[in-house]
Structure 1
Amino acid sequence: MTMHVYESYRTACKNEWNAAVNHRFNQELVADTLADDVLRRYLIQDWQYTSGFYSLLGQAIASADLLSSKIRLSRQLGFISNDEDTYFHDRFEQFNVSHAELDNPQLTPSSLGITKLYADTVQTRSYADAIAVLCVAESLYLDWAQTLTNEGRNVPRKEQNLGWIRVHRDAGFKNWVDFLIQELNRLGSPNNEELKSRFARAVHWELAFFDDAYRGIGIPQDSGAIISNHDS
């Protein structure tokens, strides 16, 4: 049986993919043991490439080859500017994040890497390239949110943690990820090394982004999976 493009790309970088899914950040978030300082730092850095994500999504809309794809991509903009945006601002208020911290933070290496990857992908004007990067950004989060919560059976109680899981595993998000995977399977090829490399670079930076959440605040830096009650 021929392996689908998405599956083949994931398999090619499975070590970093699995490390990202099972990262201590995600396990601690699900277990309600994630330090506030870690989540605070993570969200401030995540916010820095929100503009780049909008641009990437806009490039995908502009370059999509089908009207139905343009419509589906456009609908996702509404979600990002509502549910996910609300979560960010609620947490910034909770953690007393100042405008200065949001406007002029010191960017981590992974934030710079993701920002550059998004910008470079926008410049390609390639729908397939945009879909490959979007696919990683979204499906990796659905994977860890599903895997570590045992498909929603074991969820955290703290709203700051539960809210982050909600926006990454509700029915609408699953539908969005399914669409991206279908598009990558339609557009890509297992032998397209350039597209596969772009996919792998996105995975690399997502893993590094979890690592960077622990840097500079006196918490050991370790991307290895921790023991979890959710392991099967």
Structure 2
Amino acid sequence: MTFTQELAQETQTLRDQIHAMAFNRELAEGTLPPEIFQGYIIQDAHYLEGFARALSLAAAKAPDAQAVAQLAGSATGAIAVERGLHGHYMGLFGITTASFEATDVSAACDHYVSFLLRTAAIGEFPETVAALLPCFWIYRDVGKEIAETSRPENPYAEWIATYSGEAFDESVTRMLALTDRVAAGASSAARARMHHAFKRSCWHEWRFWDSAYNGEGWKEIEPNPA
């Protein structure tokens, strides 16, 4: 069993829950309310900027030129998705640059990005790679599953095509291979940290979609009664 197969086996229940989430089921059916998808797209644009920064930090720590090029290229690709796919939907929804910048980052988005940046900044390279992997892997698997049942007239067809497409599939395959390669040379303690980081990022993926579906921002602190 490869290391990434171990990761998949260990997180199967959580990843099954992600596939079954109302957000993804309704997106597949094309019935997801536009206002929910709009909120999600705004938060995802904020997220992808942080994700690209974490990939760049990982590239700076990479042990060889091949890994540097791969991670730096993925960082560029994340920004390209933000500008292309998100630009498409923001145009449809009439979201201006000013309104986007005025929208606060949600607690779920901030928590996820902070975890990735902290791991990339102070964690070891193997741990960082494992933390970054779920964003590739889960989106590819969800996108492919949705593409199997989605109809061409689905209003979210551009999103589905992006994450079920060949180009994204190839980037995920490369990331899986890098994770296995890094794990093969890691100590048992480092591999344990990789498992922990991967599981934590899987949870953040679930939390991000759950928060977007329920329109959650920051919980307000109730004032003490007088």
Taking structure 2 as the reference length, the TM-score comes to 0.84
In structure 2, the partner of 1:127 is: 125
Per-residue deviation, 1:52 = 1.1
C-alpha deviations, 1:2-54, integer Å up to 9, x for none? x2111212222222111112222112112111110110011111112222111
Q: Secondary structure at the match of 2:164?
A: coil
Q: Secondary structure at the match of 1:168?
A: helix
Work out whether residues 133 and 175 of structure 2, in 8 Å CA contact, stay in contact via their aligned partners in 1: yes
Per-residue deviation, 1:131 = 1.5
Partner AA of 2:167 in structure 1: G
* 2:197 matches 1:198: yes
Inter-partner Cα distance in structure 2 for 1:164 and 1:136: 18
Work out whether residues 52 and 115 of structure 1, in 8 Å CA contact, stay in contact via their aligned partners in 2: yes
* CA gap 1:200/1:125 in 2 versus in 1, 3 angstroms: closer
* CA gap 1:85/1:51 in 2 versus in 1, 3 angstroms: same
Q: Secondary structure at the match of 1:206?
A: helix
In structure 2, the partner of 1:157 is: 152
Structure 2: gaps spanning 5 or more residues: 217-226
C-alpha deviations, 1:92-121, integer Å up to 9, x for none? 121122434422324333112211112212
* CA gap 1:78/1:103 in 2 versus in 1, 3 angstroms: same
* 2:171 matches 1:172: no
Per-residue deviation, 1:174 = 0.9
In structure 2, the partner of 1:185 is: 180
* CA gap 1:107/1:180 in 2 versus in 1, 3 angstroms: same
Per-residue deviation, 1:72 = 2.5
Inter-partner Cα distance in structure 2 for 1:107 and 1:83: 18
Between 1:98-107 and 1:198-207, the stretch displaced more is 98-107
Between 1:59-68 and 1:182-191, the stretch displaced more is 182-191
Work out whether residues 38 and 214 of structure 1, in 8 Å CA contact, stay in contact via their aligned partners in 2: yes
Q: CA RMSD in A?
A: 2.2
Inter-partner Cα distance in structure 2 for 1:158 and 1:110: 31
Identity %: 19
In structure 1, the partner of 2:43 is: 45
In structure 2, the partner of 1:55 is: 53
* CA gap 1:201/1:52 in 2 versus in 1, 3 angstroms: same
In structure 2, the partner of 1:76 is: 74
Q: Secondary structure at the match of 2:30?
A: coil
Work out whether residues 20 and 207 of structure 1, in 8 Å CA contact, stay in contact via their aligned partners in 2: yes
Work out whether residues 129 and 198 of structure 1, in 8 Å CA contact, stay in contact via their aligned partners in 2: yes
* CA gap 1:14/1:194 in 2 versus in 1, 3 angstroms: same
* CA gap 1:148/1:51 in 2 versus in 1, 3 angstroms: closer
Q: Secondary structure at the match of 1:167?
A: helix
In structure 1, the partner of 2:210 is: 211
Between 1:120-129 and 1:24-33, the stretch displaced more is 120-129
Partner AA of 1:173 in structure 2: F
Inter-partner Cα distance in structure 1 for 2:187 and 2:10: 10
Per-residue deviation, 1:162 = 1.1
